[in-house]
Structure 1
Amino acid sequence: MRNSLKVAVIGGGSSYTPELIEGFIDSYETFPVTEIVLLDIPEGQRKLTIVGQLAQRMIAKSGLPIQVRLTLDRRSALEGADYVSTQMRVGLLEARAWDETIPLKYGMIGQETTGPGGMMKGLRTIPVLLDICKDMEELCPNAWLLNFTNPAGMVTEAIHKYSSIRSIGLCNSPIAAYKWLSSLYSVPVDRIRCEFVGLNHLHWINRITVDGEQKLPELLSNRDGYSAKNVPQYDWNPTLLRSLGAVPSYYLKYFYLHREILAEQQAAALKGETRAETVKRLEDELFEIYRNPDLSEKPKQLEQRGGAYYSEAAVRLMNSLHNDTRDIQTLNVSNRGILDFLSDDACIEVNCIITKQGPIPQPLSEVPASVKGLVQAVKTYEQLTIEAAVTGSRDKALLALAHHPLVASVNDAEKMLDEMLIRNKAFLPRFQGVISEISLHSANEWT
């Protein structure tokens, strides 16, 4: 085992970074990282400097022998890395605002990881991450790439298909479920067991036990469920919960409560109250707090950002891989026959045993028949989106939208797609030929 550990953080200027640094400090005894490199792009220089200096103050306060380095040089950041963590946003919050608002004009949900907005985020992100993987194949071929960048499942599947880099996708949603149950039953997380089935942002909890006692039946009458600040706060329909026989992820509200959420989003957009605007306001406030030279710990205000427990999930996974702990975590991994109605290379979100060689997905006790159709439809959309991202095919992108359950009309989807392609032109180099063919007249109507 090496005496030194290097972690490269892609998107190091993110507002989430202090939470990640806190995780490294808390886990140093078992995961003794010696170098953390925070990497960002030139447009992120200001934020990288502010959050990087806070990270350095946090490490100094801890007294631990960890070097925190800031850089805009990707190759320098990746060279010799043992772990690479991604928390990037191609197109920044401006592109997120397009993802959230353009679909609303066509009567469709606007969300950055689900539906049309999720597709555009995938089209922007997948080529960039595949380029990062090419550098990793040269500079740190044995490193683990832990992808937290959304849409996490889709991005991770693309890496598995088009790169030799070892990559795992992770999300804070499963760990949020454990935190909810821990609070609900007043027991530590290690006494709770959950079985997750589905895809990233499209999973159901199929089995829940506390100290070995089955709790799912009584939880099906809990209309609140677990949630997150970045998802509309609607109660679940009790008949639906009983019929499903599983606790749905809060992201499934976009599917099961489509009309209510669409109306809420449209009303909020008219007031300029999109999630992108909220996040921008929160980030501006956070970075003002981060600038305080006397601040040397993660501020409590970060919990309002919407990514709670991110560092806990990311650092726990690094620690488990490093130490071959063989504990169980819920991750985005290749299917390998776990869901027999999907291809083996499909990326799914399930429980895995974590070994030094990587995660081993665990068989499921049951897959509710009622969820299979939705999972298949969304997986088809994801795989077509990956193909579109890699090839720059407008046809594949439209076909992906046509297969998504939240897209009501392919005719409207085609108009929406063209508008979104035009808006995202600067971030879609593989679509440049297609975008140039979209009529100037139509483009002028959108500006």
Structure 2
Amino acid sequence: MKIVLIGGGSFVFAPTVLEDIIVKQRLTGCELVLVDPNLEAAEAMAAAARHIAGELKVAMRTSATSNRREALAGAQFVIISASVQGAHRWQIDYDILSALGMADQARECGGMGGLMNGFRSITLLMDICRDMEELCPEAWILDVTNPMPRVVTAVARYSTIRIAGFCNIAYRGAEGYTFLPKLLGRKAADVSIVSAGLNHFAWLLQITDNATGEDLLPGLRAYIEEGSWAEQDEETRRELRIMKRWLEEYGAIAAGHADHHAEYLPPQRDIHYTTSPPYHGSAEERSRRMEELRQIGAGGVNWNSLFEHGSWEHPVLLELALHSGGELSLDILNVKNEGAIPGLPADRIVEVPVKVSNRTILPLAVPALPDKLLELCRAVSDVHELVAEAAVTGSREIAKLAIDADPAIVNKAVAYTALEQMLEAHADLLPQFNGSKQCF
């Protein structure tokens, strides 16, 4: 099995892939190729992987390259965790939006920031898809790049490459759903939870006590609605106030962090909007992690430290099930709806639990969303569709339609001005908006 990781120099996600392949699954015979424009980082990660595999006697091949096409030839799975100049480009957007009085729109996934981040990420992903259609047309993309639903929508609509999107933000913990059970004095292992909706916009639909089968949703709703949270810290009380407001307005409990959900909603006074690049690692931290990688690769330090701050997403598990034909259940995956959420079109990208069987991903039917929430999810999904279409075609008119449709953007006229300024600022990454090319 050949796995390509694009973003192989990442200090957060790449170690998680290494841990899953080498330490947890012991994938003897696997070939892993780490691709990154920062070849030094990718080579250091590959050296660490080879050292760990050697210690654990896992016979596999690991290499690093900055040549994407060279890596993709013959691949079966392509994991993508990459953002082109992420922090730098986010800062450009923030400065433009701040000057126009729209600093709260400098978001990663929604609003004007999510629009531009979507354009940049989709352009990258579609370029990768064109290479894959030539070099490994049967391979799967397992995407971790944000904005998740917009990226997956673009690939699913405008490419022949199969794709699924990974983002477990609704868990709010590395070990599964942690925040919501804790409000009831329970641990993640004590309950079964079903959440569904859209990525970074998923909602709690079921919560059940594993031991007794008791429906815990009425009790959780009552806890949030009563507004007596004296035992909680101030940050949790802030979130609960927001969740209570949304519960009253939309009829459901937000499964993820309120600040993530708020990216897709109009500005609200009690939301913490981002004021610094939403990407992991300062320059100082990256320098320290690079030195740590070199020492691990040389056998100078214990390699367990590499896995202390990993990702919550584990696409390697899906790879194994798809490769072997085995069965797997996942609480959260971004795939086509195909009837899982009643009332949303079958081809829309949604976030739902799935079952994998016979090399097929099957979205599982979930309880119906409340009417008002369904209407809102449909509106947000409509924006995802328009952003994907604008990014692929390079249409400024469709980009404006996305702004018109986006409930997160209130001042449409100023947003049009911001759009033109940001398209000019990022013209080198987005040539399709200047008539130079199209992604399809």
Q: TM-score range by the shorter chain?
A: 0.7 to 0.9
The within-5 A match list for 1:64-213 is 64-105=58-99, 106-107=101-102, 108-176=104-172, 178-180=176-178, 184=182, 189=189, 192-211=191-210, 212-213=213-214
In terms of mean alpha carbon deviation, does 316-325 or 5-14 score higher? 316-325
Question: What letter is aligned with 1:201?
Answer: H
Correspondence for 2:294 among 288, 291, 295:
291
Which piece of structure 1 moves more, 238-247 or 31-40?
A: 238-247
Q: Percent identity?
A: 27
Q: Compute the RMSD of aligned alpha carbons.
A: 3.1
Cα pair 1:338 1:361 within 8 Å, conserved? yes
Q: Which amino acid aligns with 2:115?
A: M
Tell me the matched-pair count.
411
Q: Which residue of 2 aligns with 1:248?
A: 255
* Partner-residue secondary structure (3-state), 1:14: coil
Q: Distance in 1 between matches of 2:2 and 2:292?
A: 28
Separation in 2 of the partners of 1:143 and 1:224? 51
Matched AA of 1:166: R
Give a deviation string over 1:30-88, Cα, whole Å, max 9, x none: x54521000122xx123222323222222223221111111122222112212111111
In structure 1, C-alpha distance between the alignment counterparts of 2:157 and 2:121, rounded to whole Å: 15
* Structure 1 position 259 matched with structure 2 position 253: no
Q: Does 1:26 align with 2:27?
A: no
Tell me the TM-score normalised to structure 1 length. 0.82
Q: Which blocks of at least 5 consecutive residues in structure 1 are unaligned? A: 226-230, 436-447
TM-score of the superposition, structure 2-length normalised?
0.83
Contact 2:265/2:407 (CA < 8 Å) preserved in 1? no
Of residues 369, 373, 376, the one that matches 2:375 is: 373
Partner of 2:244: 239
- Partner residue of 2:327? 325
Residues in 2 aligned to 1:405 and 1:242: alpha-carbon distance in whole angstroms:
18
Cα distance between partner residues in 1 of 2:403 and 2:287: 34
Which residue number corresponds to residue 45 of structure 2? 51
C-alpha distance in 2 between matches for 1:104 and 1:33: 51
Cα 1:347/1:280, change in 2 over 3 Å: farther
SS of residue in 2 equivalent to 1:206: strand
More helix by proportion, 1 or 2?
1
- Counterpart contact for 1:58–1:296, Cα < 8 Å: no
Equivalent position amino acid for 1:235 in 2 = E
SS at structure 2 position matched to 1:81: coil
Partners of 2:209 and 2:159 in 1: how far apart? 40
SS in 2 for 1:118: helix
**Structure 2 CA distance for aligned equivalents of residues 360 and 224 of structure 1:** 41
2:232 aligns with none
1:390 partner letter: V
Q: Check 1:207–1:408 CA distance in 2 against 1; reply closer, same or farther (3 A cut).
A: same
Mapped contact 2:194–2:331 kept (Cα < 8 A): no
Q: Map 1:221-232; keep pairs closer than 5 Å.
A: 221=223
> 5+ residue gaps in structure 2?
230-234
1:394 and 1:434 in contact (8 A); partners too:
no
CA distance in 2, matches of 1:277, 1:330: 23
Which one of the candidate residues 419, 422, 435 is aligned to 1:420? 422
Is the CA contact (8 Å cut-off) linking 2:153 and 2:349 kept in structure 1?
yes
User: Per the alignment, do residues 85 and 374 of structure 1 end up closer, same or farther by CA in structure 2, a change over 3 Å counting?
Assistant: same
Partner SS state of residue 339, structure 2: coil
Distance 1:54 1:321 in 2: 27
Of the structure 1 ranges 418-427 and 274-283, higher mean CA displacement relative to structure 2 is found in: 274-283
Q: 1:78 to 1:356 in 2, by over 3 A?
A: farther
Q: 1:115 to 1:434 in 2, by over 3 A?
A: farther
